[in-house]
C-alpha cells in the first residue's frame, strides 16, 4: 500500500435487508484512491454511489470486503474510533446541504472545530478563512433559512473544509443547484484540491460535475464498470 | 461545546420554550389535580371529624372502651387541666371539650302541662368561649333555619325537622330530663333560641345543641366532658401523624392502670373510619394514577416527537464526527434540563394554586343555594408532601425516557438511515 493512499477498497459487498429479501447495493467493489485525487462516482440512481460514500465515511458498515481509509482498516474500529476518524480527517458534503437550522452560518462552520477542541482563536481564524474561500464572509451571522441554495451549499463546503480534512466525500453536491451555482461550487472545490491536495470523491450524475473530474468511475448496479482518467473539460 | 448546545436549545423554540411550556402545563395540572383530590377526600372526612370524631378524640380509657353506650359516668373530669396539657404538648393542634348525652325533652303548654315529649341526642359543644372555633367549624350561621345562635348557657338549638314535629319555635322553653354523671335524676330548662339543619346522617335528627357550660350545670359535671376533640390547626387530617400521636400519648399513660386517665383515639379508630381511610388511600392512588398516566404518555410522546424531528440534525452531527454516545448524551441531558425547568415552574405554580385552595378555597355556595347536602360548598385543595416531587415523573422522567427511546435509533440503525428519514 502506498503511503499516499487515501482510500483502498477490496471486494466490497453491501446488502440491505428489505422486508424478507435483500438488496445488493454493492456487489464486490474494488477501488483505490490516492491522495490529492479529484474523482467521481458516476452512475444512475440506485447504483450504489451513496452507499459506497457512506461506507467509506464509516456511516455504514460493509457486509463483506475490506475498506481502508488513510491506511486504517475500518473493520476493526469501534463507533467511537470511526467518529474520530471522521472528525479529524473526513469532510462530508451532502445533496441536501444539511445545515443545522438553529445555528448561524458562522456556528455551522465552527461546529467541527468545537468537536476537535480547537481554541477560540483558532476557530475564529479557521472559520473566517473557510467562509472567505466560499465567498460568504459577509453572511457569518445569517441563519440557514435565509440563504439561497447556492449559499447554503457553500456554507456546507466551508463546514467540510474548515478542519482541512484529508478526504472530502461529496454526495451529489450540485443536485439542488442551478448551473451557475454548480459551476461556482465546482470551481471552489477544484481550487481547494489544488491548494491543499485534499482528496475528493464525488457521487454524481450531473454533467457539469463530470466536466471537472480528473478521474471518472462508473458504477452500475453495484458494480464498477469502468474507471478512467479524464481530462477536465470545464473552463 | 456546551455553550454551543445551550445556544441550540434556546434558539429552537419547540425544544426549549414549547417543551418547557408543555411540561409546565402538564406538571401544573398534575400538581393541582393531586392537591384537589387530596382536598376532596379530606373534605369527606371533615364534617364527620368536626361533628363526631375530631382528628383525635380524648376520653377516659374506660369511656373509650364503651364509647358506643355514651357512658356518662365514665366522663373526663379536670378537663381544663387536661386541655392545657394537650395544647402545650401538641402546638400544631387545638382542642375542644364537649359532652354527648341523651335524654328527653318535655315541651309544656301555656299551663305548664306537658304538650309534647321526645328523646334528644344532645351535644354540648364550646359555643361561647372566646377562642372557640366551633361555630365557624359547624357552619352554624349558615345552618340556622330560624332564630339565632345561643348567647348564654341556658340557650339551645333544636334540630329543624324535630322542632317542627314537636311544634317548638324560637323562644319556647323546654325541659331536659336526664341523669347526671353520677346517675342522679335531673331536669334543666333550656330556651330554644333557634333551629338548625345539620343533615349529617342520624346526627341531625333529634339534635339538641347547646353550649357546654349549660350542659355542665344540667348534668352536674363541673369541669367535666365526655370527650375532648383535637384538630390540626389547618383542619387537614394527617392519618399517620394522628395515629402516631395517639400511640405516644397512650403509651405515656399506660403504666398508671387508671381507668379514668385520658386516652387518645385517632379518627382512624372510631366508627370504622379505618376501612374508609384505607379505601380512600386506594381511591386516591387510582384517581391520581389515571391522570398521571395520561399526562405521562403525553409528555413521553413530546420527548419522542422532539427527537424524531431532529434525526436529520443528529445524522449531520454524526457525519461530522461527533460520537454516538456524545450525541445521545447531549440529547438526554438537554431533555433532562428542559424537563427539570418545566417541572420546577409547573410545580411552583401548581403549589401556589393548591395553597390558595387550601388556605382560602373557592366558595361555590352561591351556585348551589338549593342544594342541601352535608358537604361543604368550598372547593379546597391540600398540599401533600408528595406534591413536591410527583411532577418529576411526568415532567422529567417521561420526556427523558421518550428522548432515550427515540435516541436509540442512533445506535440501532445504520447512520445513513438518519438522513433517509430526513429526506423522506
Ligand atoms: N438503508 C437502506 N435500506 C435498504 N435499501 C437501501 C438502503 N440504502 C440504500 N438502499 C438501496 O441500495 C441501492 C443503492 O442505493 P444508493 O442510495 O447507494 O444509490 P445511489 O446511487 O446513491 O442513488 P441516487 O443517485 O438515487 O442517490 C438502492 O437500490 C437502494 O434502494
Ligand atoms: Mg445517492
* pLDDT for the residue numbered B389: 92
Query: How crowded is residue B115: how many other Cβ atoms within 10 Å of its Cβ?
Result: 15
Alpha-carbon distance of B342 to B345, in angstroms, equals 5
At B199, is the pLDDT very low, low, confident or very high (cuts 50, 70, 90)? low
Alpha carbons within 13 angstroms on the beta-carbon side of residue A77 total 25
Q: Which chain B residues touch A96 with a CB distance below 8 Å? A: 422-423
Mean pLDDT (whole number) for B322-343? 92
Mean pLDDT (whole number) for A176-190? 90
Alpha-carbon distance of A13 to A24, in angstroms, equals 8
Q: Does A109 touch chain B (CB under 8 A)?
A: no
Distance from the alpha carbon of residue B278 to the mean position of ligand 1, in angstroms: 63
* Residue B225 zone, left/alpha/beta (φ > 0; ψ -120 to 50; rest): beta
Helix (H) / strand (E) containing B159: strand B155-159
| The C-alpha cell that represents A36 in the structure block | 490529492
ipTM for the predicted complex comes to 0.90
* pLDDT for the residue numbered B365: 58
* pLDDT for the residue numbered B85: 92
Alpha-carbon distance of A199 to B195, in angstroms, equals 101
Ligand with minimal distance to A206 CA = 1
* pLDDT for the residue numbered B187: 92
Nearest to B98 by CA among B220, B21, B209: B209
* pLDDT for the residue numbered B266: 95
* pLDDT for the residue numbered B423: 46
Q: Which chain B residues touch A84 with a CB distance below 8 Å? A: 321, 323
* pLDDT for the residue numbered B424: 38
Four-CA torsion A93, A97, A100, A103, nearest 10 degrees:
100
Name the residue facing A83 among B12, B321, B423 (closest C-beta).
B321
Name the residue facing B316 among A50, A98, A110 (closest C-beta).
A98
Contact between chains at A92 and B318 (C-beta distance less than 8 A): no
Residue B404, min C-alpha distance to chain A (Å) = 19
Q: Under a CB-based contact definition with an 8 Å cutoff, are residues B219 and B153 in contact? A: no
* pLDDT for the residue numbered B315: 84
Q: Under a CB-based contact definition with an 8 Å cutoff, are residues B77 and B224 in contact? A: yes
Nearest to B178 by CA among B71, B76, B101: B101
Residue B14, min C-alpha distance to chain A (Å) = 11
Q: B14 versus A138: which is more confidently predicted?
A: A138
Using only the alpha carbons of chain A, give its radius of gyration.
Answer: 17
Ligand with minimal distance to A42 CA = 1
Alpha-carbon distance of B103 to B97, in angstroms, equals 20
Please name the residue that has the C-alpha cell 379546597.
B380
In the stretch 135-174 of chain A, residues with CB closer than 8 A to chain B read 159
Contact between chains at A100 and B325 (C-beta distance less than 8 A): no
| Range of lowest pLDDT (A44-53, A123-132, A155-164, B12-21) | B12-21
Q: Does A92 touch chain B (CB under 8 A)?
A: yes
- Evaluate if residue B342 carries a pLDDT over 90: yes
Locate the DSSP E strands across B113-153: 114-125, 144-147
At A235, is the pLDDT very low, low, confident or very high (cuts 50, 70, 90)? low
In the stretch 28-87 of chain A, residues with CB closer than 8 A to chain B read 50-51, 54, 57, 59-61, 79-80, 83-87
Nearest to B162 by CA among B174, B149, B153, B179: B174
**Residue of the CA atom closest to atom 28 of ligand 1:** A46
Residue A20, min C-alpha distance to chain B (Å) = 17
pLDDT tens digits along B116-144: 899 999 999 999 998 899 998 988 888 88
Contact between chains at B316 and A101 (C-beta distance less than 8 A): no
- Evaluate if residue B157 carries a pLDDT over 70: yes
* pLDDT for the residue numbered B204: 62
The whole-chain average pLDDT of chain B stands at 87
pLDDT tens digits along B358-404: 888 887 655 555 544 445 567 788 888 889 999 999 999 999 998 99
Alpha-carbon distance of B181 to B216, in angstroms, equals 10
Distance from the alpha carbon of residue A166 to the mean position of ligand 1, in angstroms: 26
| Range of lowest pLDDT (A52-56, A90-94, B66-70, B385-389) | B66-70
Q: Does A118 touch chain B (CB under 8 A)?
A: no
CA angle (A232 as vertex; A109, A97 as ends), nearest 5: 25
Mean pLDDT (whole number) for A207-213? 93
Distance from the alpha carbon of residue A51 to the mean position of ligand 1, in angstroms: 6
Q: A140 versus B114: which is more confidently predicted?
A: A140
> What is the share, in percent, of chain B residues with pLDDT greater than 70?
92
Distance from the alpha carbon of residue B303 to the mean position of ligand 1, in angstroms: 30
Question: Of all residues in chain B, what percent are helix, strand and coil, respectively (each to 5)?
Answer: 55, 20, 25
Mean pLDDT (whole number) for B244-249? 92
Helix (H) / strand (E) containing B145: strand B144-147
* pLDDT for the residue numbered B281: 87
- Given strand A5-18, what is the order of strands in its sheet? A21-34, A5-18, A64-69, A72-73
Q: Under a CB-based contact definition with an 8 Å cutoff, are residues B313 and B322 in contact? A: no
Mean pLDDT (whole number) for B195-210? 77
Nearest to B49 by CA among B384, B374, B377, B363: B374
Mean pLDDT (whole number) for B233-245? 90
Alpha-carbon distance of B349 to B371, in angstroms, equals 32
Most informative mutation of A19, A22, A25 for ligand 1 (most atoms within 8 A of CB): A25
* pLDDT for the residue numbered B155: 95
Q: B308 versus A145: which is more confidently predicted?
A: A145
Mean pLDDT (whole number) for B263-283? 90
Q: Which chain B residues touch A112 with a CB distance below 8 Å? A: 320-321
A56, A86, A102, A169: best to mutate for the B interface, most B CBs within 10 A: A102
* pLDDT for the residue numbered B418: 62
- Evaluate if residue A1 carries a pLDDT over 60: no
pLDDT tens digits along A19-53: 889 999 999 999 999 999 999 999 999 999 999 99
B12, B16, B19, B319: best to mutate for the A interface, most A CBs within 10 A: B319
Alpha-carbon distance of B424 to B417, in angstroms, equals 10
Residues at Cβ < 5 Å from ligand 2 ion: A 50
| The C-alpha cell that represents A99 in the structure block | 445545515
Contact between chains at B414 and A96 (C-beta distance less than 8 A): no
Four-CA torsion A62, A64, A65, A70, nearest 10 degrees:
20
By CA distance, what is B314's nearest residue in A? A100
Alpha-carbon distance of A117 to A111, in angstroms, equals 10
Q: Which chain B residues touch A123 with a CB distance below 8 Å? A: none
- List of residues 6+ apart from B411 with CB closer than 8 A: B324, B328
Amino acid at each position: 500500500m502506498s503511503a499516499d493512499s487515501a482510500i483502498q477498497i477490496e471486494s466490497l459487498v453491501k446488502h440491505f435487508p428489505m422486508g424478507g429479501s435483500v438488496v445488493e447495493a454493492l456487489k464486490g467493489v474494488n477501488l483505490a484512491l490516492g491522495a490529492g485525487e479529484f474523482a467521481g462516482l458516476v452512475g444512475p440512481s440506485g447504483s450504489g454511489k451513496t452507499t459506497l460514500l457512506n461506507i467509506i465515511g464509516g456511516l455504514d458498515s460493509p457486509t463483506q470486503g475490506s475498506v481502508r481509509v488513510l491506511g486504517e482498516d475500518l473493520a476493526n474500529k469501534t463507533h467511537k474510533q470511526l467518529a474520530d476518524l471522521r472528525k479529524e480527517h473526513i469532510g462530508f458534503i451532502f445533496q441536501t446541504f444539511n445545515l443545522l437550522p438553529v445555528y448561524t452560518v458562522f456556528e455551522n462552520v465552527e461546529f467541527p472545530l468545537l468537536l476537535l477542541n480547537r481554541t477560540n482563536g483558532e476557530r475564529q481564524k479557521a472559520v473566517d478563512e473557510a467562509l472567505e474561500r466560499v465567498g460568504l464572509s459577509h453572511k457569518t451571522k445569517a441563519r440557514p433559512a435565509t440563504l439561497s441554495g447556492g449559499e447554503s451549499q457553500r456554507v456546507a463546503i466551508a463546514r467540510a473544509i474548515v478542519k482541512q480534512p484529508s478526504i472530502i466525500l461529496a454526495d451529489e453536491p450540485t443536485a439542488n443547484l442551478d448551473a451557475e451555482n454548480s459551476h461556482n461550487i465546482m470551481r471552489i472545490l477544484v481550487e481547494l484540491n489544488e491548494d491543499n491536495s485534499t482528496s475528493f470523491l464525488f457521487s454524481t450524475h450531473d454533467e457539469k460535475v463530470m466536466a471537472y473530474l480528473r478521474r471518472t468511475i462508473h458504477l452500475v448496479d453495484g458494480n464498477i464498470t469502468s474507471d478512467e482518467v479524464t481530462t477536465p473539460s470545464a473552463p | 461545546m456546551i455553550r454551543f448546545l445551550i445556544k441550540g436549545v434556546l434558539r429552537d423554540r419547540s425544544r426549549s420554550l414549547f417543551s418547557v411550556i408543555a411540561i409546565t402545563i402538564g406538571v401544573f395540572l398534575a400538581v393541582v389535580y393531586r392537591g384537589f383530590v387530596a382536598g376532596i377526600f379530606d373534605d369527606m372526612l371533615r364534617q364527620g371529624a368536626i361533628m363526631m370524631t375530631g382528628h383525635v378524640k380524648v376520653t377516659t380509657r374506660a369511656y373509650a372502651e364503651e364509647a358506643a353506650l355514651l357512658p356518662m359516668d365514665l366522663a373526663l373530669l379536670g378537663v381544663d387541666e387536661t386541655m392545657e396539657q394537650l395544647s402545650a404538648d401538641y402546638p400544631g393542634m387545638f382542642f375542644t371539650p364537649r359532652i354527648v348525652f341523651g335524654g328527653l325533652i318535655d315541651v309544656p303548654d301555656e299551663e305548664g302541662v306537658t304538650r309534647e315529649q321526645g328523646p334528644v341526642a344532645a351535644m354540648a359543644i364550646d359555643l361561647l368561649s372566646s377562642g372557640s372555633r366551633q361555630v365557624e367549624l359547624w357552619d352554624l350561621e349558615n345552618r340556622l333555619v330560624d332564630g339565632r345562635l345561643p348567647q348564654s348557657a341556658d340557650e339551645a338549638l333544636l334540630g329543624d325537622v324535630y322542632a317542627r314535629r314537636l311544634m317548638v319555635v324560637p323562644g319556647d322553653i323546654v325541659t331536659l330530663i336526664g341523669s347526671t354523671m353520677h346517675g342522679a335524676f335531673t331536669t334543666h330548662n333550656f330556651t330554644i333560641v333557634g333551629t338548625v339543619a345539620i343533615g349529617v346522617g342520624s346526627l341531625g335528627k333529634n339534635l339538641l345543641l347547646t353550649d357546654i357550660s349549660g350542659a355542665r350545670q344540667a348534668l352536674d359535671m363541673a369541669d367535666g366532658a365526655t370527650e375532648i376533640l383535637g384538630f390540626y390547626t389547618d383542619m387537614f387530617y394527617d392519618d399517620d401523624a394522628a395515629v402516631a400521636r395517639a400511640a405516644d400519648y397512650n403509651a405515656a399513660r399506660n403504666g398508671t392502670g387508671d381507668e379514668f386517665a385520658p386516652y387518645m383515639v385517632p379518627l382512624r379508630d372510631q366508627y370504622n373510619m379505618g376501612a374508609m381511610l384505607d379505601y380512600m388511600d386506594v381511591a386516591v392512588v387510582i384517581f391520581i394514577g389515571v391522570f398521571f398516566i395520561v399526562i405521562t404518555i403525553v409528555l413521553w410522546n413530546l420527548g419522542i416527537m422532539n427527537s424524531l424531528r431532529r434525526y436529520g440534525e443528529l445524522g449531520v452531527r454524526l457525519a461530522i464526527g461527533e460520537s454516538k454516545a456524545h450525541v445521545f448524551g447531549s440529547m438526554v441531558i438537554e431533555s433532562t434540563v428542559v424537563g427539570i425547568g418545566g417541572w420546577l415552574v409547573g410545580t411552583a405554580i401548581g403549589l401556589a394554586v393548591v395553597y390558595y385552595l387550601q388556605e382560602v378555597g373557592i366558595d361555590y355556595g352561591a351556585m348551589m343555594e338549593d342544594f342541601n347536602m352535608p358537604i361543604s360548598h368550598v372547593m379546597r385543595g391540600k398540599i401533600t408532601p408528595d406534591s413536591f416531587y410527583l411532577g418529576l415523573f411526568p415532567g422529567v422522567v417521561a420526556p427523558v425516557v421518550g428522548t432515550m427511546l427515540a435516541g436509540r435509533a442512533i445506535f440501532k440503525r445504520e447512520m445513513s438511515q438518519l438522513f433517509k428519514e430526513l429526506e423522506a
